[in-house]
A and B are shown apart, each in its own frame.
Chain A
């Protein structure tokens, strides 16, 4: 490339000899998008950004280029708490407790969806 880089005293124009990387790498964020006609947000990927504003900015570029989203959420990955997949059976009810379900009750039409 013939493009010039302004070099200050003590610096090098060579990209490999540049300054040290900053000590703190950018944290990771998870991106959720709700489509124009969608009902809920869907997780579509993750990215790195220094703060919430630039995470949103980058999410628009990386994930919604084709105008898919009506609503865009970013959440710091460290704020997402999840079950360890191995332990999940301990916490989540098995489908055997049929007595808890109201399957034999007929909902009148006037009540609507429940």
Chain B
């Protein structure tokens, strides 16, 4: 149950973050791509929340989980709530998370629970596509101009501290394959992993960075101001 909410929250928060790029992306095609990817994540979140509601048996709907939980109840990774920053930062964040989701869905597709395996099976195809998208961009940015390389390297240096959380707590994956995927991409892009071993965690325990609060305030404002509202 906790894992379902954790993964649902990961995808919901990231969808919300990516939504901020709509009408702001560097090119029209990328604007559409990011919107598409955000909807993929949102779809997974909806499926997971729905399943969580069925298992919990207290008639909570997807909206209840998404819109009526407080910051401390959200179990998403710290990584996905980090601000978008520039395009390089968004792509590096995506790379780290997509590689994680590829491992995660592969693992969960073999779950005994049929509904979970079904969700994981569909999500796995999307995750493979997302990883192609983010790794292609990180390679282009790292191996691009001096400016794109600098922005991408800054992003890697800043976001690396949030990757440790991928390998601990509910819904974690093994480090080895994830690291190999990341290393391949970074090698091709000319970017380096930082030496700094410092890691932050807490998202999975409901202890978030300063960024989740404002994100939820913006996302949940409508439902909280007009409870039960319908379009």
A interface with B by C-beta (< 8 Å): 1-6, 8, 15, 19, 22, 26, 47-50, 53-54, 57-58, 60-62, 65
* With contact pairs A6-B158, A54-B136 given, residues A61 and B86 touching in the complex (Cβ less than 8 Å): no
Is the CB of B112 closer than 8 A to any CB of chain A?
no
List 6 additional contacts besides A3-B85, A57-B136, A61-B33; criterion CB under 8 Å: A5-B86, A6-B158, A8-B150, A47-B29, A53-B136, A58-B32
Contact of B140 among A4, A47, A50, A65 (CB under 8 A): A50
A6 to B136, CA, bound (A): 22
Number of contact residues on B: which range applies?
20 to 34
Is the CB of B220 closer than 8 A to any CB of chain A?
no
Query: Do A6 and B140 have beta carbons less than 8 Å apart?
Result: no
Q: Is the interface of B mostly helix, strand, loop or mixed?
A: helix
Query: Do A61 and B154 have beta carbons less than 8 Å apart?
Result: no
Contacts of A6 in B (CB 8 A): 85-86, 89, 151, 154-155, 158
Contacts of B86 in A (CB 8 A): 5-6
Contacts of B154 in A (CB 8 A): 6, 8
Contact of A57 among B33, B158, B214 (CB under 8 A): B33
* B:83-128 near A, CB below 8 Å: 83-86, 89
- List the 4 shortest-distance A-B pairs measured between CB atoms, nearest first: A58-B29, A3-B83, A61-B33, A61-B36
* B:6-62 near A, CB below 8 Å: 20, 24, 27-30, 32-33, 36
Is the CB of B200 closer than 8 A to any CB of chain A?
no
Contact of B33 among A1, A8, A58 (CB under 8 A): A58
Query: Do A61 and B29 have beta carbons less than 8 Å apart?
Result: yes
Query: Do B33 and A26 have beta carbons less than 8 Å apart?
Result: no
Contacts of B145 in A (CB 8 A): 22
Q: List 20 A-B contacts (CB under 8 A).
A: A2-B214, A3-B84, A3-B85, A5-B85, A6-B89, A6-B151, A8-B150, A8-B151, A15-B24, A19-B147, A22-B145, A48-B27, A48-B29, A49-B29, A53-B136, A57-B33, A57-B132, A58-B29, A61-B32, A61-B33
A15 to B87, CA, bound (A): 12
